[in-house]
Structure 1
C-alpha cells in the first residue's frame, strides 16, 4: 500500500476538517487457465496466449484502487474511491482496457452508520462462499461459485446504508432509478457467522432469498450458502459448500456447487501457499458445466 498524506494549509483551514488521506492500493495476478474442449485445437501448447483456438490460456488482471478519505473535527469520516482495472480477454487473448466507469463511490460514516452512493453492488453480493484457484476457477462464462450462488443477485444499487452493532450488521441497498432494493443481515460471534439476504429487481419482478454461513474450528473452516430464486418466472434453488484446512503457509480447499439452472454439479479442489510480502501461489482443478477446468498462478496485493 502506498499512502500519501495531503495536509496542505488549505485542507487544514477547511471548516470541520482534521486531516485528509489519499491511498493507492491494489492487487494483481498472473497465471495459466485450462478449460477442457472449450476450443478446437490440435496442439494446446501452440495456442498458449491465443485463446481463440486453444484450451490453455494466459491470464492476468490488475486492480488499482484510488481512495481519498478524511475525518472531521466532530469525528465524522468521509471519502471517495475509483477503480482502475485492466485484464486479458480470455476469448480473444487481447487486453481489456481500463474500466470505463471506474466504479466511483462516495461515503460518509459516523455513529449513525455508513452511507455510500455510487456504482455499487446490491446488499446480497457479499453473501456466498469463497473462490478457489488463483482467479476464480471456471470456464470463460461460468465460475464454480456462479453455480453455487446462481440467483443470489438479481437487482442493482446506487446507494447503500450499513449499520453495525456488536456482532450484528445490517446492510440495505437501493437503486433510485430502477427502484431495485435489497437487504442483508449478518451475525458473526467469534469463529461463527450467519447471514440472511433478500434482493429484488423491480423492472423484471425478480427476487431471491439467500442464507449463508461459516465456521472455523482451529485449522479447519467451512462455508455454506443456499439461495431460493424467482427469475423470469423460473423458480429454483442453488447451493454451495466449501471446506478448507490450513497447515502453516499452505491452505487446502474443496468445494461443490449445484443449481436448478445448471445440468451438472460443479466441484473442485484447490491449494494456496502464502509466499509472504503480499504474494501467494494458488491453483485448483475441478469440473464446471461438465467441463474439466484448472488454473495455476500467483496473486499479489500491494
Structure 2
C-alpha cells in the first residue's frame, strides 16, 4: 500500500443507522518518464483515491463498501482523466494534468456571469474558451508560472506521447491592477506547434462597481497551408447582484480552419440562487454557420450538497 497523503473521516448520523463512517485516502505522483520503452520522453501523472465506507444498523448488523478510483481506468499515468496536480513555492508554481496551457491561463474568457445547465452560452458557434491548441494530443499539460507585483508569466508544454508530432508550446503574461475601484486585467498569450499553427492573443477585462463586468479578447492564427490568417474576436458583459447573475457574450470566427470556418454566435445565461444549495438556471445560444443557423436553450435547477 502506498503512503497515504490525504485522510479524512466523516460521521453521518441518520434515522436508519447508528452511524456511518466514510474514509478517503489518496496518493499522487508527477514527473517525466522516458527511455527505450517509450516512443518519446513524456509527462507522468498518477493519482489514486479510495473511498472506504462502513456502517452499523441499530440491530448491530455491520455493512460496508469500498471503491478505488484508480482501478476503474479513469486515471492513466500518461494521459489525463480530469485530474490536476500542483506544486508551489512562494511565487513559483507548477501545474500538471488537466490544466490550461499558458496561452489560456493568461487570457480572459467572456462568459462572465450566470450559467446554464447545458452550457448554451459557451457552445454556440462564436464561442472560444481561449484554449488555443490545448488538447491537441491527450490534454496532459505541464505549466510553470511565476507571479509578482500583479504580473503572472507562464510557460507550458503538451507532448505527443507517440513521438511523431512536435510539442505544443505556450507562453502567457497576465497583469491585474485596481484603478479607481475598478479591477483591470490584461492578458497576452502565444502558442505554437511547429509546421501546424502559431496563435497570438490579447484580452482585456474589467470588474466595475455595482456588480457589472466586461471582457473582450482577440486572437490571430497563422495556420500552415492557409494564405490568410484566421481570426477570432469575442465580447461579453455580466451582472451579478445578490441572488441573480446574468451574462451575455458574442463571438465570431474568420478563416479559422482549426475549428469553425466563418461563423458567429451569441449566448445568454442567467442563474438565480434559491438558497441552501439550490439554484435556477436559464440559458440560450444562437449560432450562424454561414449556410445554416441553429439555436439551443435550457431551463432547470442545480443542486449543490
TM-score range relative to shorter protein: 0.5 to 0.7
SS at match of 1:129: coil
Preserved CA contact (<8 Å) 2:111 2:249: no
Q: Aligned in 2, Cα 1:125/1:270: closer, same or farther, shift over 3 Å?
A: same
Q: Does 1:252 align with 2:246?
A: yes
Q: Aligned in 2, Cα 1:267/1:82: closer, same or farther, shift over 3 Å?
A: farther
SS at match of 2:118: coil
Find 1:227's aligned residue among 195, 213, 219.
219
Find 2:157's aligned residue among 174, 189, 193.
174
Residue 274 (structure 1) shift: 2.0
SS at match of 1:212: strand
Q: Aligned in 2, Cα 1:104/1:264: closer, same or farther, shift over 3 Å?
A: closer
Unpaired runs of 5+ in structure 1? 1-9, 12-19, 25-65, 70-78, 84-96
TM-score, structure 2 as length reference = 0.60
Residue 241 (structure 1) shift: 0.7
Larger radius of gyration: 2
Find 1:130's aligned residue among 94, 111, 114.
111
Preserved CA contact (<8 Å) 2:274 2:280: yes
Equivalence for 1:143: 123
Q: Distance in 2 between matches of 1:67 and 1:223?
A: 39
Residue 80 (structure 1) shift: 7.6
Equivalence for 2:300: 297
Preserved CA contact (<8 Å) 1:170 1:186: yes
Equivalence for 1:207: 198
Preserved CA contact (<8 Å) 2:199 2:221: yes
SS at match of 2:282: strand
TM-score, structure 1 as length reference = 0.60
Q: Distance in 2 between matches of 1:268 and 1:295?
A: 12
Preserved CA contact (<8 Å) 1:181 1:200: yes
Cα root mean square deviation, aligned: 3.5
| Count of residue pairs brought into register by the alignment | 218
Equivalence for 2:39: none
Preserved CA contact (<8 Å) 2:118 2:283: no
Q: Aligned in 2, Cα 1:105/1:22: closer, same or farther, shift over 3 Å?
A: farther
Residue 250 (structure 1) shift: 0.8
Residue 167 (structure 1) shift: 1.2
Residue 269 (structure 1) shift: 2.4
Preserved CA contact (<8 Å) 1:80 1:106: no
Q: Distance in 1 between matches of 2:26 and 2:177?
A: 30
Equivalence for 2:173: 185
Q: Distance in 1 between matches of 2:240 and 2:150?
A: 25
Q: Distance in 2 between matches of 1:215 and 1:67?
A: 39
Unpaired runs of 5+ in structure 2? 10-24, 29-44, 50-71, 161-165, 255-259
Q: Does 1:196 align with 2:188?
A: yes
